Chains A and B, each alone.
Chain A
């Protein structure tokens, strides 16, 4: 009887120790679970919404500033607009303590394979070339003082590029020449939503053919049926402007094309297409 009591008492001590260990494990699990789900209780979504909103708005400021620059040649428009945007962000998100700073690209940078681009006050337009483009570039610094977020930097680039392709096409059955253009936006992504109305100017040897031309659009892949001679496929979405001609051009053709995209950004390209680059379709 005495031996059993001692045995039971000893066992109970171990039980208490085990329970304490189990309690510690449960406590640690609870603490870890709380730490893991802490983010749910914090208003992260609100801060993310503010950051996303500022980023989207800044990109929009660049778009409308570049549209303004390409249409009016106001070279300081981006700086003026970003100054105003900084004040608007401060007012709109005053409860968060949002403070926006920015720096404009100045000097030589590369973007989307174009190197170098000489920016002035964050803007550049390189026009009247076979590969022409309009671009805006600014780096923004966002602080949200209410949560101690400082130095959140992001770079916004808005870009529109026109590539007048090396080859033009001659359609002997309809007596038409097809000048082919490929358009890119930032990303770089090919622009596929342009309509005839987006082509503001199509000039051939100083003659305006905008009204007397047609636009066809297609994706040129390796299976594109060009009769002769064979040439490497562009693997790109092509806008082809066709104009009537009495015969196949025997000398070079000077073309100028101006496009304004849905954002209002404009670009003008020019190319003197040699006669031997006008191929039979």
Chain B
């Protein structure tokens, strides 16, 4: 009889311990659902890269990107700036540099939105590289480097 009681009490403690552990685990998981963690620089940068790539890809699909880049006129850079500003979220600042394959900068004027200090002061700047092979019949590759910062 005594042995029987001993065993039962021990088992109850086991059950209690397991239940306590489960309550702790569930409590942590539940709190985690509502936790607002600070944005990780890595995640934020990755998110901006995705946005930047999608915008460049969309402009390329519409045939605008290749046209602006191959045109390489002052008006083309202005139009490209306007197209990027219209496509990107308003709180995202950008700076686009167009290079030829030898690494020489092609754009004669700035293709940017936001002050330059925004990029120098920001702790994380996302960078996307996109290559435009040419326009219409002519192969003339241009390497686009788009830097993005959330304001």
Contacts and interface: CB of A to CB of B under 8 A. Distances in A.
B128 A88 contact: no
Contacts of A67: 136-137
Interface residues of B, number: 39
Contacts of B10: 10-11, 13-15
A18 B13 contact: yes
A63 B21 CA distance: 62
B101 A19 contact: no
Contacts of A84: 101, 139, 141
B134 A60 contact: yes
A91 B143 contact: yes
Contacts of B139: 61, 64-65, 80-81, 84-85
A2 to B, nearest CB: 11
Contacts of A6: 6
B101 to A, nearest CB: 5
Given A10-B10, A84-B141, A85-B141, A60 B17 contact: no
A85 B140 CA distance: 9
Contacts of B41: none
A173 interface: no
A11 B20 CA distance: 16
A87 B143 CA distance: 12
A53 B143 contact: no
A57 B131 contact: yes
Q: Place the interface of chain A in its size category.
A: 35 or more
A92 B102 CA distance: 10
A29 B139 CA distance: 54
B43 to A, nearest CB: 8
B124 interface: no
A43 interface: yes
Contact of A14 (B14, B128, B130, B135): B14
A15 B131 contact: no
Nearest to B56: A53
Given A15-B14, A29-B25, A92-B131, A52 B6 contact: no
Given A26-B25, A81-B133, A92 B49 contact: no
27 contacts: A6-B6, A14-B13, A18-B17, A19-B17, A21-B18, A23-B21, A43-B46, A45-B50, A46-B46, A52-B57, A53-B53, A53-B129, A54-B131, A60-B133, A61-B133, A61-B139, A68-B138, A72-B137, A81-B133, A81-B134, A84-B101, A85-B133, A88-B101, A88-B141, A91-B101, A92-B131, A93-B129
Interface of B: 2, 5-6, 9-11, 13-14, 17-18, 20-21, 25, 42-43, 46, 49-50, 53, 57, 60, 63, 66, 101, 103, 128-139, 141, 143
- Pairs of residues from A and B, 7 with the lowest C-beta to C-beta distance, nearest first: A22-B21, A88-B141, A18-B17, A11-B10, A14-B10, A18-B14, A68-B137
Given A14-B13, A60-B132, 15 more contacts: A15-B13, A41-B42, A64-B139, A68-B138, A72-B137, A80-B139, A84-B101, A85-B133, A85-B141, A88-B131, A88-B133, A88-B143, A89-B131, A93-B129, A264-B136
